Structure 1
Amino acid sequence: MLCDWDFPHARPEELALPEARVATLGGFVFINMDPEAPSLEDYIGEEALAHFRAWKLEDRYVYCHVIKRLQCNWKLNQEAFHEAYHVLETHPQVSPSNGDANSQYDFYGAHVNRFISTLGVVSPHLYGKITEQDVLNQFVLGDASALDGAQRRLADGETARSAMAKLFRAAFEAANNADLSAVSDSELLDCFSYNLFPNMFVFPGISLPMVYRFRPDPRDHRKSFFEVLFLKPLPADGRRPVPAEPVILSDEQSFTEAEGMDEGFGRILDQDTDNLFLQQEGLEAAAKKSLTLGNYQEVRIRHFEQAIDHYVAMPPPGQDWRSLQRRQGCT
């Protein structure tokens, strides 16, 4: 300490910077400033923890990282991605190859939920209107460059899903110099989405390998930041490429303008986010002061908002995060 003779009353151990609690999972670093908070393992729970460990995300690397500020609250920002109910209206171009209303929704304890949206199959809204060949032709994945423009006709009796599984496995192995022989067709094709409360979404599959993060704008509660990190498997030789530097878009830019972003997926993100300003305005102006949520397809939103309500209410001593688990029927 400078001029320590003048500070005989100051104890260095009392002036040290506060220590943060740090834990790692799947290659990600989690920081908690609350010394009384539960461990990351207790917070996530054993069942969900087993899922995260099985995906082995530590064996991926970030090849594209995009950040954009949106004109909406951070909670509204992430609720746009909790369900597949919006696909038919918001992303009509991918409906022919998206199971949307047939998606599966689950929650694990008070802080983790998930959906599995089956891809490469006909939307239930379009049964009888399109063919398996239409599904193959319309299939969309996060990094279309991996397919190198490949197109082919289905053989008699062959499904679009089985054809895409064969094509994807070969294309991804070649593009990433990785061995995917142990990866199931579902992991290759389907959209798995885990929400880790409060603001992290993990898409650990192969065709849509991403992480979303949602952060409030500290200067304006009506604005927030949306981050997208795209992941690829590590090369088979074990080399770990340098992670991509973040690309920061202006509020007006399209996601398609981000370097490294697949143009088709950039348009999907534009569709997901372009109407959030109107939603923010509508919620604030509406005479109806609550949302009407679907019983099943929007169960993740309800699960998320229950956690928000619990923590905002600041429960009295003795009613900690475990009381939230009990209240949500999670023991």
Structure 2
Amino acid sequence: MTNSKHLSPGEARAQGPTIKQTLMADAIPPPPALLAQSQQFLGDEDIPVSRYTSRAFFQREVDSLWRYSWQWACREEHIPDEGDNYVYNIGPYSVIIVRVDDDTIKAFVNSCTHRGTRLLASEGCGYSQGFTCPFHGWSWQLDGSIKNIPGRWDFPHVNGDSHGLAEVSCERWGGFVFINIDPKAKPLADYLGPMDEHFKQFPLQQRRIKTHVKKLLPANWKVAQEAFMEAYHNFETHDSPHGANAQYDIFSDYVSRFIHNIGHYSPEALADYPGEKWRAPPLTEQQQLEALAIEGRVLKDGETARQIAAQTLRETISAELGVDLEHCSDSVMLDSIEYHLFPNMFFFPGVMIPMVYRFRPNGDDVDSCIFDIMVMELMPENAEHPEPPEPIELGIDQSYTDAKELGWLAPVYDEDTSNLQMQTLGLKGASKGVSLGNYQESRIRRVHKTLDNFMKEHEQPSQEDNNG
């Protein structure tokens, strides 16, 4: 570890080569977005455990976060044709996203404007020529306008404008359909900030959903997502040396990122980790290549495991998928590059690690959440998106290896989520707050600070205040 005695809080970094130095030494250098760096010290006070365990805090999130934040609900290929719809649930809220015509996608609150009954019961894909309430038969066109009211004579006070379906803000980006229940929501572009420019170099609309796994996890949604926001856990949880010198960037209140190298690690960065496994003697480049399951290839003078691993992947994936990766950088081919978009979304622009994640409360349960993983596979340019696969749903006690489609990722996800139940139990009996590293866990602190500011902005006056 860098000697921190004479450094200000948050300035200390791991020893050894930086991520930028590693990327600049690659055979094919990275796009400009990956060379951007932005870090700030956000404080070192403890995070109160009540933020993860308190029913009152959970209810504040229901009232002042999920109703007002942008979230991706589905992909455009979930609703390719007129009448196709997708139901997305977040906490107590439910939204219908519908393809109105070739060029128009709208979103509506999944609730009858007569007496509130949900119009569509199940989350996921569906089709209809309109929407009909199963209670009294009120119906609406795809654009949300009133179609029919049985016993119309008894509702002279109802007109189309007053009782059309309640529209929800809806925008598209990177092939994803985003919703915001707040009708006065600021534009999605304001939320995305630098992500829009960065992802022009990693076009997500040119990817398809190869696999979608939806699993129930035994932890608050923040506990679960924070397990994926740092590489500090890699040494113990994954028995891996990668990530000890990961780079963490905070680009805005809403957007952060980490980059950690695959196919290269720095023994110096592990200087104050326990044991000698990864330090003495450090793995040779040849051993690192074999650890990446690339066997039978002997490195020539000047070659690195990282360069050969990247080139092998280029050749293999190009042949499998029919995509041109000739100029794709070593970093995009190999590295774990993870962007977080507040409050609960993760986007990985890499080729070997090409996922998106989403963490949501499981109904009104403080102590469990829904974790969506989509593996986003590259598509040839101008190819049409195939029909997306049905999500594989896993229960709270199931292993990710039950989702065979995840392949080598399945046991990694088992490791990533193996500590969540114990952490949930530990938080309930904790005698102090949660302590975060100044640098490696700064992204977690950014989320909590943004969450506080966001909820303060959107909290409504109490009924007593309204009556006062």
Map Cα deviations across residues 286-307 of structure 1 (whole Å, 9 max, x no partner): 111x211111111110111111
Among residues 197, 217, 224, which one is paired with 1:77 in the alignment?
224
- Identify which range, 117-126 or 211-220, moves more after superposition: 117-126
2:251 paired with 1:108: yes
2:243 paired with 1:243: no
Map Cα deviations across residues 269-291 of structure 1 (whole Å, 9 max, x no partner): 00110110111111111111x21
The two structures have a TM-score, normalised by structure 2, of: 0.62
Offset of residue 157 of structure 1:
3.2
Among residues 43, 46, 68, which one is paired with 2:191 in the alignment?
43
2:313 paired with 1:165: no
Which amino acid in 2 is paired with 1:200? M
Offset of residue 89 of structure 1:
0.6
Among residues 161, 165, 170, which one is paired with 1:17 in the alignment?
165
Aligned residue number for residue 313 of structure 1 = 456
2:145 paired with 1:2: no
| Alignment check: 8 A CA contact 2:227 2:416 kept | yes
Aligned residue number for residue 31 of structure 1 = 179
2:424 paired with 1:271: no
| Alignment check: 8 A CA contact 1:210 1:231 kept | yes
**Structure of higher CA gyration radius:** 2
Aligned residue number for residue 121 of structure 1 = 264
Offset of residue 237 of structure 1:
6.8
Aligned residue number for residue 286 of structure 2 = 133
Aligned residue number for residue 224 of structure 1 = 369
Offset of residue 261 of structure 1:
1.1
2:321 paired with 1:176: yes
Aligned residue number for residue 466 of structure 2 = none
- Identify which range, 250-259 or 205-214, moves more after superposition: 250-259
The two structures have a TM-score, normalised by structure 1, of: 0.87
Offset of residue 316 of structure 1:
7.6
Offset of residue 156 of structure 1:
3.2
2:454 paired with 1:301: no
Which amino acid in 1 is paired with 2:405? G
Offset of residue 152 of structure 1:
2.0
Among residues 416, 430, 440, which one is paired with 1:286 in the alignment?
430
Offset of residue 245 of structure 1:
1.4
* Secondary structure, counterpart of 2:177 in structure 1: strand
| Alignment check: 8 A CA contact 1:177 1:236 kept | no
Map Cα deviations across residues 164-189 of structure 1 (whole Å, 9 max, x no partner): 11111101101111111231111111
Which amino acid in 2 is paired with 1:114? R
Which amino acid in 2 is paired with 1:214? F
- Identify which range, 153-162 or 73-82, moves more after superposition: 153-162
| Alignment check: 8 A CA contact 2:224 2:420 kept | yes
| Percentage of pairs with the same residue | 42
Offset of residue 48 of structure 1:
2.4
Separation in structure 2 between the aligned mates of residue 115 and residue 160 of structure 1, nearest angstrom? 22
Which amino acid in 1 is paired with 2:160? P
2:201 paired with 1:54: yes
| Alignment check: 8 A CA contact 1:122 1:132 kept | no
* Secondary structure, counterpart of 1:311 in structure 2: helix
Structure 1's unaligned 5+ residue stretches are 141-148, 318-331
Offset of residue 202 of structure 1:
0.5
Map Cα deviations across residues 103-150 of structure 1 (whole Å, 9 max, x no partner): 11111211111011111102432344221112112227xxxxxxxx76
Separation in structure 2 between the aligned mates of residue 40 and residue 305 of structure 1, nearest angstrom? 21
Q: Residues 143-162 of structure 1 correspond to what in structure 2 (within 5 A)?
A: 151-162=296-307
Quote the RMSD (CA, aligned, Å): 1.8
Separation in structure 1 between the aligned mates of residue 290 and residue 253 of structure 2, nearest angstrom? 40
Separation in structure 2 between the aligned mates of residue 73 and residue 161 of structure 1, nearest angstrom? 37
Q: Which has the higher helix share?
A: 1
| Alignment check: 8 A CA contact 1:255 1:267 kept | yes
Offset of residue 313 of structure 1:
3.1
Offset of residue 35 of structure 1:
1.5
